[in-house]
Amino acid sequence: MIRQAKGKTPRRPPPKKPSNNQKDPVGVYCRVRPLGADDEECCIEVISNTTIQLHAPDGLKANRNGEYKETQYSFKKVFGIKTSQRELFEDVAKPLVEDLIHCKNGLLFTYGVTGSGKTHTMTGSPGQGGLLPRSLDMIFNSIGPYQAKRYVFKPDDKNGMEVQNQVDALLDRQKRDSQTTVPKTPTTRRIDPEFADMISPEEACKADGVDEDSSYSVFVSYIEIYNNYIYDLLEETPFDPIKPKPPQSKILREDQNHNMYVAGCTEVEVKSTEEAFEVFWRGQKKRRIANTQLNRESSRSHSVFIVKLAQAPLDADGDNVLQDKNQVNVSQLCLVDLAGSERTSRTRAEGSRLREAGNINQSLMTLRTCIEVLRENQMCGTNKMVPYRDSKVTHLFKNYFDGEGKVRMVVCVNPKADDYEETLLVMRFAEMTQEVEVARPVDRPICGFAAGRRQRNQAFKEELTRRLEERGGPVDGEFPTVLNQLLQSFPPLPPCEISGPNDDVTLPRLIEALEKRHKIRQMMIEEYNKTANMLKSVLQEQDSNILSKENFIQEQRGRLGEKDKMIQNQKNEIDRLEKKSKMLEYKIDILQKTTNIYEEDKRSLQQELESREQRLQRELSEKRRMESRMQGMVTDAKLKWEKECERRVNAKQLEMQNKLWVKDEKLKQLKAIVTEGKTENRQPQRPSREKDKVPPKRSASPSPVPTGPPVRPLHRRSHSAGGERWVDHKPTSNVDLDTVLKPNIPNAIKVNAPNEKALSKCDRYVLTHQEVASDGEIQTKLIKGEVFKTRGGGQSVQFTDIETLKQENPVAASRKRRSSETDPDGEPMEGDWTDVETRCSVAVEMRAGSNLGPGYQHHGYPKRRKP
């Protein structure tokens, strides 16, 4: 809302209003009046029920070179020339009246150039009542039966409304009755023919949803704003026909709710449509007179008719209005007939009239400016000051735009060509006004009493009356009169002055009269008791009624309690669920965060995995390449070595074959020699010819020839000590050579590995050791030693000498043999073992530095044994 910063008085904080964010745009309607009889050219066409089109008149078109085009304007609704007053009312004013009855404010104004039909629309004429009489009629049709007695509601002088008690209201009523000469009953009233038949009864309209348990009162005010002065058209001023007093202008004030009001303005309480319209008409008359007297033009003034509706709930009994000012609701409907919107030039005004006209125009200008600023503020979110105070009209209606309420405007247009240019301006303003939004009025709070109070109260009153009538007794207000009559019907008391002691008439007469009176009194008491009993029973009935109602209320309260409990439970449940949902949200949050972390991890791991896979792939391919390379190398090497082996085998084979061949050759030669010799001496007896053909096998070597070189007696002890004992150590790794000469040591302990036990029993040790000689033949060495007892009780061996047993290729030996054979002394007399083959293949060598002695002897044993 836009509040004015301007203002001399310090501002009070605004009252607390129910917050309302809903807004409605100003409802703008367009009414096109029919062309007048003198007018020929029409420049407005109704295109649809929301749009009109303006055509520039022919003259203008010609003058301005076709600058004026056809323009269209849209409104909430467009009413064509045939629209009836009733149709217009139904659409435009009826909702405002309904709002008024439901405590909401409304503002309805007609806007247009003079003669466009503003007054016709607002006021109308007999038989063609306008929006104003129809609104009044609808109000009274709706609240008629629920109106409060006059003066129950009483306006204070600060735009507020008070509720008077019954007595004060009655006193005010009596005062009014005594002052006015107007007859009380409207039926007998003479209606001014000027405004008779404004609304025909069949067109009567009624609002829905009127609260029957409220009491209503209507107050009307009627003001005129002329030349920016406010005049009260309903003010009662003593009329002076000779020197008429100029009317006093009124000022605007702001009430405590920041609503603007005309201070000291007359507010007339009216109880019917007729009465209200009569008041209006009174104002109209006054206006007309003033205008004539002051030479004013009525089209230059704004007239504002304000209908105020006060309503307050009935008390708990449903009998009287609740005496509580805070419970009074006042709503108002302003019906405004604005001055003609045309520019000054049109009226050819001069002097002060021109100045006035300027002011009138000024107020409409201000209205336009205010609407423009409002629109700009609302559309652009700006906070420009709206110049309401620049004119009385806008200042008075400030609250409608500033606060809340429903605002409607009927734009009246005359389609005649003369008005074209003015009409264009009117249309532009009207279109712009539609863009302004006004806060929607909120519903008023309902009072705490049960509904249907008025009806129950009425039913009770009716019942009471019926019962009293049944009884034939007095009814209501007639009661005191009956009593009076009864008292008057008592027989008068006879004179009770005793004339003398002998007077015996007076006393008996008095007694008689008193007895009569007593009887009457008795009757009256009886009467009274009967009535009292009757009333009692009625009251009792009411009491029981109340009791049952109370019970009902109690029951409802119980139910309400249950419902409350349920609500509480639900609330708790909601709280719990809310907490839970918060908890879950928190959890979700955490989980989401965790998920994010995991996802990041996953991403990085995936990246790593990918890089590793790539590396693996690379390595695999590298490996495969290497494998294929190695495979190549292996096959190459294999091939090479296979070739080499083949080559060597072949060479060896060749060599062996050569050797074999050489041996064979030698053998052949030897055989030839032998055969030569034998053929000379004896017949060849040896059956071993075939054996000689096969390649010589490395056979057991026979003992060397006994005739050897002289022996160096190195080991005398062993010679002498024939009874000495040997440890014969033959490692299992030794190969059994098929030799002839084999060491044979009698009485020796044979072992595969030397052991203490064996050594302790012996004094000599021999190890048979095999090794490959330089020519590739295996030679056997007999390493001999002596066993000593050590001081520690163990044994130790001291090697003394080595005997070597070696096989030799016969090819090399044959020459030697041959030379020895050829020795003439060396006759073969040794027997079989001196066979040529054997001799060729066996040689005994003495190691350098070693004596042949033992070895010779050693070899000698088998020689001796073996034949």
Confirm or reject binding of residue 341 to Mg ion (CB under 5 A). no
Which residue has the CB atom at the shortest distance from ligand ADP? Answer: 117
Confirm or reject binding of residue 313 to ligand ADP (CB under 6 A). no
Our CB check for ligand ADP shows the closer of 122 and 844 to be 122
Confirm or reject binding of residue 130 to ligand ADP (CB under 6 A). no
Our CB check for Mg ion shows the closer of 116 and 259 to be 116
Cα-Cα-Cα-Cα torsion 423, 426, 427, 429, nearest 10 degrees, comes to 160
**Shortest Cβ distance from residue 299 to Mg ion (Å)?**
6
**Shortest Cβ distance from residue 235 to Mg ion (Å)?**
22
For residue 174, give the amino acid letter: Q
Q: Give dist(CA 630, CA 607) in Å, integer.
A: 34
Q: Give Rg (Cα) of the chain.
A: 76
- Binds ligand ADP (CB under 6 A): choice among 33, 55, 102, 398: 33
162 in helix, strand or coil? strand
**Shortest Cβ distance from residue 94 to ligand ADP (Å)?**
18
Taking alpha carbons only, the member of 679, 44, 123 closest to residue 415 is 44
Q: Give dist(CA 86, CA 305) in Å, integer.
A: 20
Confirm or reject binding of residue 119 to Mg ion (CB under 5 A). yes
Which residue has the CB atom at the shortest distance from Mg ion? Answer: 119
Question: Strands 749-751 and 726-729, how do they pair?
Answer: parallel
Residues 6+ away with beta carbon under 8 Å from 574: none
* Number of residues counted as binding ligand ADP (CB under 6 A): 13
96-115 residues near ligand ADP, rule: CB under 6 A: 112, 114-115
Binder of residue 126, out of Mg ion, ligand ADP, none (CB less than 5 to 8 A by kind) = none
Do 417 and 41 touch, CB atoms closer than 8 A?
yes
Q: Give dist(CA 296, CA 143) in Å, integer.
A: 39
Our CB check for ligand ADP shows the closer of 344 and 834 to be 344
Binder of residue 412, out of ligand ADP, Mg ion, none (CB less than 5 to 8 A by kind) = ligand ADP
Our CB check for ligand ADP shows the closer of 298 and 391 to be 298
Q: Give dist(CA 752, CA 755) in Å, integer.
A: 9
Locus of tokens 């030349």: 227
- Binds ligand ADP (CB under 6 A): choice among 230, 309, 412, 737: 412
Binding mask 58-77 for ligand ADP (x = CB under 6 A): --------------------
Candidates 116-124, 375-383, 661-669, 680-688: pick the segment binding Mg ion (CB under 5 A). Answer: 116-124
- Binds ligand ADP (CB under 6 A): choice among 15, 18, 34, 59: 34
**Shortest Cβ distance from residue 220 to ligand ADP (Å)?**
21
Three-class SS of 174-221: HHHHHHCCCCCCHHHCCCCCCCCCCCCHHHCCCCCCCCCCEEEEEEEE
Q: Give dist(CA 226, CA 510) in Å, integer.
A: 84
The CA-CA-CA angle for residues 300, 306, 307, to 5°, reads 150
Confirm or reject binding of residue 416 to ligand ADP (CB under 6 A). no
Do 155 and 219 touch, CB atoms closer than 8 A?
yes
Candidates 113-121, 253-261, 529-537, 546-554: pick the segment binding Mg ion (CB under 5 A). Answer: 113-121
Candidates 117-125, 186-194, 391-399, 684-692: pick the segment binding ligand ADP (CB under 6 A). Answer: 117-125
Q: Token pair for residue 387?
A: 């110049």
Q: How far from each other are the two terminal CA atoms of the chain, in whole angstroms?
A: 153
E strands, 693-823, where? 726-729, 749-751, 764-772, 778-789, 795-807
CA distances from 85 to 126, 151, 303, 338 (A): 12, 34, 20, 19
Confirm or reject binding of residue 116 to ligand ADP (CB under 6 A). yes
Question: Strands 842-843 and 153-155, how do they pair?
Answer: unpaired
Confirm or reject binding of residue 301 to ligand ADP (CB under 6 A). no
**Shortest Cβ distance from residue 377 to Mg ion (Å)?**
32
Do 748 and 710 touch, CB atoms closer than 8 A?
no
Our CB check for ligand ADP shows the closer of 119 and 399 to be 119
Our CB check for Mg ion shows the closer of 118 and 408 to be 118
Confirm or reject binding of residue 126 to ligand ADP (CB under 6 A). no
Binder of residue 663, out of Mg ion, ligand ADP, none (CB less than 5 to 8 A by kind) = none
Binder of residue 115, out of ligand ADP, Mg ion, none (CB less than 5 to 8 A by kind) = ligand ADP
Positions that interact with ligand ADP (CB under 6 A): 33-34, 112, 114-120, 299, 340, 412
Positions that interact with Mg ion (CB under 5 A): 118-119
